[in-house]
A and B are shown apart, each in its own frame.
Chain A
Amino acid sequence: MVYRNSLRIVVDILTIAKDSDPEKGVGITTLLRKGNISYSRLSRLLKDLVKCGLIEEVNAERGMRYRISEQGRQFLIAYYRFEEFAQSFGLRL
């Protein structure tokens, strides 16, 4: 069994946000379900991601939703590029 590190969890959350509706974003329930992460940890993570500018908060009728920012997209591009590089050495990021 391979455990996810914190970087991998961030990437998973960003990927879920990227694959969702680019205008409306994604709700916290979907992030919890698809991200396979606890509510408290996700709340803290989302706060940090918004602070860093990787994710944007969108006010919706039924609560807060989240969508990936341009900076978040750039981060994902960089991550996948360097993940390939590290895997060439047989390493995980």
Chain B
Amino acid sequence: MSRLLGKEGFNTSHLGILRGAKALSNLLVAEGVLALIAAFIGLSIGYISLSGYRETSSPALLRLAAAFILLFLGFTFEALAIFGYVGVLPLLALATASFIIASSLLETLGFFFLAFSYILNVRATQRTLAMPLILPLSQTVVQISAALKSISFYLLVYASVETAIAYMKTRRVETLVLSFGLIFLAVSELVRWISYVEFSWPFWYSVSLSLKVIGVSTLLAPIVKFVSLRRCVVRNGV
């Protein structure tokens, strides 16, 4: 009897682990798909900004293009790392660690350029907000990635605050939407950290993914506005 119970107990825990692993795998695949969508949106914004820079030679558009092309590369590497880890793309499994670090680094650089655009746009007194960045020295891939992600979180919060300030001046709806989007992306990163330490990680991980979906989809607002304006301006002239 006790042997039977022991066997059942083992089976139950084994099944639980398997279910947990499958849930994690599904969530990771969803995150990979989301990273690919974010990469596509980043590429679109980067392309529009770059074509704007070519036509007007505006340095603000060049910085924006640099930010979103780096984010495009970062999100692409993130998707590759996830698909390699989960086994969707087994060929990439060996390079997962490199992809994780590359994606974190590129995303941080992208968010830095985004924040840098705002730093140049605002008063000198506000520049100090972006200064106290401390890069923790660590050895492992996860620690390096976590350190870079924490910098990304900081830069995202800064960019969202600056966008909110810009909204106060211009009262443009899309600026407000973008500000909320950046906040959602930052909170998504925060919730992700909670999911690493919490026992109910599937819940926190799902919440993090949902927030990321909302944050990424708000990045569409400037693209939609640009496309609609393109038709309107060309039709009516300047």
Contacts and interface: CB of A to CB of B under 8 A. Distances in A.
Contacts of A78: 52, 55-56
A81 B233 contact: yes
Residue in B57, B58, B172, B234 whose Cβ sees the most chain A Cβ within 10 Å = B58
A85 B60 CA distance: 11
A11 to B, nearest CB: 9
A87 interface: yes
B56 A91 contact: no
Interface stretch (A31-39, A59-67, A69-77): A69-77
B209 interface: no
Interface of B (DSSP majority class): helix
Contacts of B170: 87, 90
A88 B174 contact: yes
A88 B221 contact: yes
Contacts of A92: 60, 121
B180 interface: no
Contact of A73 (B55, B221, B225, B238): B238
Contacts of A80: 233, 238
B182 to A, nearest CB: 10
Interface residues of B, number: 34
B234 A86 contact: no
B222 interface: yes
Interface of A (DSSP majority class): helix
Given A91-B121, A91-B166, A85 B48 contact: yes
Residue in A7, A73, A79, A86 whose Cβ sees the most chain B Cβ within 10 Å = A86
Contacts of B230: 81
Contacts of A85: 48-49, 52, 61, 222, 225-226, 229
Contact of A90 (B56, B118, B226, B238): B118
Nearest to A79: B56
A90 B178 contact: yes
B229 A7 contact: no
Given A73-B238, A77-B234, A81-B230, A89 B64 contact: yes
B58 A86 contact: yes
Contacts of B222: 85, 88-89
A88 B48 contact: no
B117 interface: yes
Contacts of B174: 88
A91 B234 CA distance: 23
B154 interface: no
A6 B233 CA distance: 23
B167 A82 contact: no
A87 B176 CA distance: 11
A72 B3 CA distance: 88
A78 B222 CA distance: 16
Nearest to B114: A89
Give the 9 A-B CB pairs with smallest separation, nearest first: A90-B166, A82-B52, A88-B222, A78-B55, A93-B58, A88-B174, A90-B163, A76-B238, A85-B226
Interface of A: 7, 15, 18, 73, 75-82, 84-93
